[in-house]
Chain A
Amino acid sequence: MGVKTLQSKMGKHILELYVNGSSLTSVEAIETLQNICEEHLHGNCEVEIVDVLKNPERAEEAGILAIPTLIRKWPLPESRIIGALTIKSRVLAGLGITNGNTH
C-alpha cells in the first residue's frame, strides 16, 4: 500500500487509450488526451495508446467494445470513458481532475 499511496500523493495518472488506427474519433481522442496531460496534469501522467487493429488481444483482455475507450488505471478505482472525448470539461470530471490540479 505504501508505494501506491505515494503514487497517489504524487498524483500520477496512468491512462490507457484504446484506438482504431487513425479513425476520426481516435485522432480526436488522442489530441484531447495529450492536451489534458500537458495542460492539466503538467506531464505528470503515463499514457499508453493501444491500437486494437494491431493488438486485438489487448482489447480482448481489457474487454473493450467501443472505440475510443479511455481507461484510468490509476488512481483507483479504475474507470472508463467511452467516446471521442469531445467535451474536455466532462473528460476532466470523469478522470477526477479539478481545474489544473490533481487530487
Chain B
Amino acid sequence: MNIEKLPTGIEAFDHISDGGLPLGRTTLIAGSSGSAKTLFGAQFLAMGIMLFDQSGVFVTFEEQVDDIRKNLRSFNWDIDTWEKEGKWVFVDGSPKEEDSITVGDYDLSAFRIRLEHAINKIKAQRVVIDSIGSVFTQFPDMHTIRRELFKVAMTLRRLHATSIITAERTEEYGEISRFGVEEFLADNVIILRNVLNKEKRRRTIEILKFRGSNHIKGENPFTIIPDKAIVIIPLSAMELKQRSSHVRVTSGVPKLDDMCGGGFYRDSIILVSGATGAGKTLLVANFINGIREKGERCLLMAFEESREQLFRNAKGWGQDFEKLEEDGYLKVVCIYPEVSSLEDHFINIQEIVKSFKPDRIAIDSLSALTRTSSEKGFREFIIALTSFLKHEEITGMFTATTPLLTGGASVTEGNISTITDTIILLRYVEVYGEMQRAISVLKMRGSKHDAAIRQFTIDSQGMNIGEPFNGVSGILTGNPVVVKQNN
C-alpha cells in the first residue's frame, strides 16, 4: 500500500519524496544546529499558502515570533498579509522572560488545546512544530514531556494535519535525535545535514524513512538561495524520466561528424579532454557554430576565459560570437568558479537554461569547477547536471583539462567519464621532433565511430581534421613511438 502524499511545493523535494510529505501524518525532521530545519518548516507552510492556498500553523518553542517574521520577510514571503488573512498562525511557545518554578505534576494540555484551537480556527492543513529540543529545555521532566509529545502527535493525527516536527542532532552521522522522540514519530524521518568537508560546506537532505511509501534513498545536496530558500538538487529522481534520442546534431566540424558516425546524439553529453591549448575551446567554438545548421540556440558557460578573450579567439577561427549573441542564438555567461558553491552554480545554470531555452550548452571548462568542491560534491553536480540536460533534451559539451601536456587522465575525467555519452580526446603528439595535434573519438555510446587517431590543424577557418596517424603508436599514453611499416 502506498500512503497518499501532500505536495510540499518545495522544489525537487516532491520528486525525491515521490509526491511530498505523507498526508495527514507527522514527519520528523532532524538535523544539527544550522542545518536549516526551521527554514524547511517555514518553507513548507509558505509554499502551502502560495501554491496550494492551504493555511498553516507554525509552533515555535525556540525562536521568538518576531525573529521568525523577520527571517520570512528576507525570503520575500509576505508573512504580514498571511497573518492578517488568517493563512498563517503562530503558536508562541518560545521561552518567556519571567521566572518560572515547578511545583508538582503538570502536563502540556494547554499547549495541545492552543494548537488544536489554532488549527481549527484557520482550518490549517499544514503544521510545523519547531523544535522538540527546546521543549525539553523549557520543561526538564523528560518522562512527562515524552508522554506529552506523544499526545501532541496523536492530536495532529486526529486533526489530519500534515505536520513537521523538528529535532536537534548532536552529530551529523549518529542517532536520529537527542531525545529519542523518533520512537513515536518514527514512521517518517528526514535528516538535514550541514557537513564541513575539506573546508567546504555541503548541505544535504536524506529521507531516512517514509513508512509504507516510496521515496528516493540517499543524500541529495541542497542549497539556500535568497529568493527561493531551500532548493534541493535531486541526483536520481530526474534520471528516471530520461529518454534516449536518435536524432543527430552536427558537431560543427563535418569531418568530426563522420568520425562520430553522423554527428552527436541530440540529448547526449560530450566530454572533450585535452591539455591546455590542445584545441578544446576551438572545438567548443565549432560546436557553437553548429547551431547555424538548424537555427538552434546555444548557451556557453565560460569558467576560465573572459568574454573578450573568448570573442577574440572565436574571431581568429572565423566565427562572430558577437553577432550570434545579438541575433539571440547564443548566450555567453562568464563566471569565476569561486564566486559561489557548486550547488549554486547548478541552480544558476538551471535558471538560465529555463529562461534562454537553449538546444545546446557548452561548459568550458569543467575542470575549473572542481576547484570549488569536494570530489563527491563534484560528482553529484555532474550527475544532477547531466540528468537535467538530458531531461531538457539539450546537447551538452563539457571540456576537461588534463594536467600533462601530452595527456594523462584528469580528476574531472575520472569522475565523469562514465556519465558522458561521448568522449573526444585532443592530444599533442611529438613525431619526428615536431609537435602535431591529434583528435580521437574514444567513446560514442550507441553508435559506430571512427577508431582512428587523426591529425588536425588549426587555421583561420577553425579545425581541419586530416588523416590518421599511420605508423605511430602510444599517442594516448603520451609516448608516441614510430612503428616501422611494411610498405
Are B138 and A90 in contact (CB-based, < 8 A)? no
Which listed residue (B98, B110, B117) contacts A79, Cβ 8 A?
B98
Asked if B198 is at the interface of the complex by the 8 Å CB criterion, the answer is: no
Asked if B99 is at the interface of the complex by the 8 Å CB criterion, the answer is: yes
Asked if A81 is at the interface of the complex by the 8 Å CB criterion, the answer is: yes
Asked if A94 is at the interface of the complex by the 8 Å CB criterion, the answer is: yes
> Given A52-B113, A53-B113, A63-B92, is A25 in contact with B98 using a C-beta cutoff of 8 Å?
no
Are B101 and A25 in contact (CB-based, < 8 A)? no
What interface size band does chain B fall in? 20 to 34
Measured between C-beta atoms, what is the minimum distance from B295 to chain A in Å? 63
> Given A53-B113, A60-B91, A64-B110, is A81 in contact with B100 using a C-beta cutoff of 8 Å?
yes
Please indicate the chain A residues that have their CB under 8 angstroms from the CB of B143 in the complex: none
What interface size band does chain A fall in? 20 to 34
Please indicate the chain B residues that have their CB under 8 angstroms from the CB of A86 in the complex: 103-105
Measured between C-beta atoms, what is the minimum distance from B93 to chain A in Å? 5
CA distance A98 to B33 in the complex (A): 44
Minimum CB distance partner of A25 in chain B:
B105
Q: Which B residues between 93 and 123 are near A, CB-CB below 8 angstroms? A: 93-94, 96, 98-111, 113-114, 116-118
Are B111 and A65 in contact (CB-based, < 8 A)? yes
> Given A65-B93, A67-B106, A84-B105, is A56 in contact with B114 using a C-beta cutoff of 8 Å?
yes
Are B110 and A81 in contact (CB-based, < 8 A)? no
Asked if B139 is at the interface of the complex by the 8 Å CB criterion, the answer is: yes
> Given A56-B117, A60-B91, is A18 in contact with B110 using a C-beta cutoff of 8 Å?
yes
Measured between C-beta atoms, what is the minimum distance from A32 to chain B in Å? 9
Which listed residue (B92, B98, B108, B117) contacts A66, Cβ 8 A?
B108
Are B103 and A25 in contact (CB-based, < 8 A)? no
Please indicate the chain A residues that have their CB under 8 angstroms from the CB of B102 in the complex: 81-83
Measured between C-beta atoms, what is the minimum distance from B229 to chain A in Å? 28
Please indicate the chain B residues that have their CB under 8 angstroms from the CB of A64 in the complex: 110-111, 114
> Given A56-B114, A63-B96, A78-B98, is A91 in contact with B103 using a C-beta cutoff of 8 Å?
yes
Known: A86-B105, A90-B103. 7 other contacts (CB 8 A): A23-B107, A53-B113, A80-B99, A81-B100, A84-B104, A86-B103, A94-B103
